[in-house]
Structure 1
Amino acid sequence: MPYKSIDDLPKNVRNPLPKHAQEIYKSAYNSAYEQHKSESDKEERAAKIAWSAVKEKYEKGDDDKWHKKD
């Protein structure tokens, strides 16, 4: 189901990601969920698309923290 706010995101998304990356995830997830709403795997697809959107702007560093790409 779509997320109303970043506070509704799963802990595995909220905990490691900075706030801006969480916003990217939420926006991409909600958009993908809407596009694939008639498909049985819509939540899995939306999550994959959302992570891809985050990875366009952020990368996980050697310190295991997510950093905005230059």
Structure 2
Amino acid sequence: MPYATNNELPPSVRQHLPPHAQDIYRAAFNHAFDVRLREPGGEERAHRVAWAAVKRSYVKSGEAWVQR
């Protein structure tokens, strides 16, 4: 299901990523979900796409995600 706001993101995303990274995650997820809507496992793949998008701009340093 697409996310309209960052508040709707899964807790694991909201609690660990800074707001800008959440924006990236949400946009990437929504796009990937729209493309893969009817494919089996589409939602799981959309989450993987979203994490990959975040990792292009952010890196985990200790417990925090910081911008590259």
Quickly name the TM-score band, shorter chain normalised: over 0.9
In the other structure, the counterpart of 1:68 is 67
What is the one-letter code of the residue matched to 2:64?
A: K
What is the one-letter code of the residue matched to 1:59?
A: V
In the other structure, the counterpart of 2:44 is 44
Consecutive unaligned residues of structure 2, counting only runs of 5 or more, are: none
User: SS state of the match for residue 67, structure 1?
Assistant: strand
Tell me the number of residue pairs that the alignment of Structure 1 and Structure 2 aligns.
68
With the length of structure 2 as denominator, give the TM-score of the two structures.
0.97
Question: What is the root-mean-square deviation in Å for CA atoms of aligned residues?
Answer: 0.5
What percentage of residue pairs aligned between the two structures are identical?
44
What is the one-letter code of the residue matched to 1:41?
A: G
With the length of structure 1 as denominator, give the TM-score of the two structures.
0.95
Consecutive unaligned residues of structure 1, counting only runs of 5 or more, are: none
